[in-house]
Amino acid sequence: MDKWIDYLSANPVIALALVIVLILFLFMVFRKLIKWAVISFIILAVAGGLSYNEAQKQPQIVKDILKKGESLKEKVFKEGEKAAEKAVDELKKNVKDKTKIID
C-alpha cells in the first residue's frame, strides 16, 4: 500500500486519472440509484393515488346502499300496512260471522 501511495505521489497525472475514474464510477452508480429511486417514487405515488381514489368511492357506495335501503323499507312498510289492514278486515268479518252464529 505504501509503495502504491508513493507511486501515485510521484505520478500525479495517474492519481488524477484514478480520481476522475472513481468520481465517474460513483456518479454512474448514484445516477442509477437515483433513477431507481425516481421510478420507485412514481410507482408509489400512482399506487397511493389509486388507493386514495378507491377509498373515496367507498362512502358513495355506502350512501347508495342506504338510499336503496330506505326505499325498500318504505316499500316493505306499505306492504305490511296493507297486509295488516286486510287481516283486521278479515278478523272483523269473522267476528261478525261468529256473532251471527251465536245469536
pLDDT by residue for the chain (103 residues), tens only, comes to 788 888 888 888 988 999 999 999 998 988 889 988 989 999 989 988 888 777 676 677 778 888 888 888 888 888 888 888 888 888 888 887 777 666 5
Work out whether the CA dihedral 20, 22, 23, 25 comes out positive or negative. positive
Cα R_g (the chain), whole angstroms: 43
Q: Which residue reads 305490511 in cell numbers?
A: 80
Nearest C-alpha neighbor of 65 from the set 77, 73, 53: 73
pLDDT recorded at residue 50:
81
Cell numbers placing 47:
399506487
pTM over the 0.95 mark: no
For the chain, the domains span 2-102
